[in-house]
Amino acid sequence: MTDVSHTERADTVWVERDALIDRIPRWLAMTILFVAVVAIWDLVTRMGWVSPIILPSPRETLDDLIFVGHNLVTGDYMLGALWTTTLTVIYGFLIAAAIGFSLGVLVGETKFGERAVMPYLVAIDTMPKIAFAPLFIAWLGFDISSKVALAAFIATFAIVVATAAGLYAASENERMLFKSMGASRFQTLIRLKLPTGLPYIFTGLKIASVGVMAGAITGEFLGGGKGFGALIRQSASQMNTPRVFALILYLSLLGLALYFTIAWAQRRFVFWNKSERQGAIG
């Protein structure tokens, strides 16, 4: 054996080097971006390039964040508004999940659903659903129920499509296995198709959670009432832009809470496909 090390030159050795971004921890990258955005924001407002009514300074926004936060913590009227919106979102989400899942099973499992029901669902889904808001208010009045209905209506379709797609996801081999074991259609649905479709269904629920938020707030914009959406509209009409910013930031916490609750449930119930969870299925 000859020693090859003395013949190795630096430019013949191929060493994999991480890109700079890979060597920075994620929290640091996020912090750097956050500081940069706030710095530019501060600069833009400080130099008077934009009117404070359009874009308040970070300082004013922080003051309002503290004000709204204090109001929420002390259980003042804003907490009541947030609670109203939270209930609207939860009810809307549960109704959308129940109806969406049922229709999804109908579409995914039956020829009737696939051929007769699905075309109508697609037709309704392509409409701008926000436009139904005045109808829901006319039918259900100005209290929470019209907002719940709009939120559920907007969110349902994502769950229908995801559930139907999930039921188609079982492979030909798996179907044949169940057939060879003499499984009934119901057994195949419960023991094979639904578990196989769970990752899809959870993805549908995540998309629906975004739709529910949009529906609830739009309903509160248009139909008034006691929710957070009404507070935002009120502040906007008073040209209190920092307050609007602060309210939106707190509102986003509600959306995040819903989203991460679903993500947590997905990790809990779809424990088996770790690779897919990080992939396209989300």
Partner 1 sequence: MTMVKTRPLSAEPVAREARPVYEIERLAKTYARNSLTALTDVNLTLRKGEFVSVIGSSGCGKSTLLKIMAGLLPPTRGRVVLEGQPVLGPRPDIGMMFQQATLLPWKTTVENIVLPIEIRSGRGAAKAAMARARDLLQLVGLGEFGNVYPGELSGGMAQRAAICRMLIADPAVLLLDEPFSALDELTRDFMNMELQRICMERQATAFLVTHSLAEAVILSDRILVMQARPGRIVEDVPIDLPRPRTLEMINTPRFGEIVAHIRNLLGREAFA
- Residue ranges that bind partner 1, judged by CB under 8 A: 171, 173-174, 176-183, 187, 191-192, 195, 271-274
CA distance between the termini of the chain: 53
Q: How far apart are CA 235 and CA 231, in angstroms?
A: 6
Q: How many CB atoms lie within 10 A of CB 22?
A: 7
Contact 158, 103 (CB under 8 A): no
- Between 50 and 265, name the residue whose CB sits nearer to partner 1: 265
Smallest distance from the beta carbon of 4 to partner 1, in angstroms? 32
- Between 63 and 174, name the residue whose CB sits nearer to partner 1: 174
Q: How far apart are CA 100 and CA 165, in angstroms?
A: 12
Among residues 168, 205, 201, the alpha carbon closest in space to that of 273 is found at 201
Smallest distance from the beta carbon of 184 to partner 1, in angstroms? 8
Smallest distance from the beta carbon of 182 to partner 1, in angstroms? 4
Phi, then psi, of 19 in degrees rounded to 5 = -65, 155
Q: How many CB atoms lie within 10 A of CB 135?
A: 13
- Between 192 and 262, name the residue whose CB sits nearer to partner 1: 192
Smallest distance from the beta carbon of 158 to partner 1, in angstroms? 24
- Between 77 and 269, name the residue whose CB sits nearer to partner 1: 269
- Between 139 and 168, name the residue whose CB sits nearer to partner 1: 168
Two tokens, residue 55: 């874009």
Smallest distance from the beta carbon of 192 to partner 1, in angstroms? 7
Phi, then psi, of 59 in degrees rounded to 5 = -60, -50
Q: How many residues in total does the chain contain?
A: 282
- Between 71 and 196, name the residue whose CB sits nearer to partner 1: 196
Smallest distance from the beta carbon of 177 to partner 1, in angstroms? 5
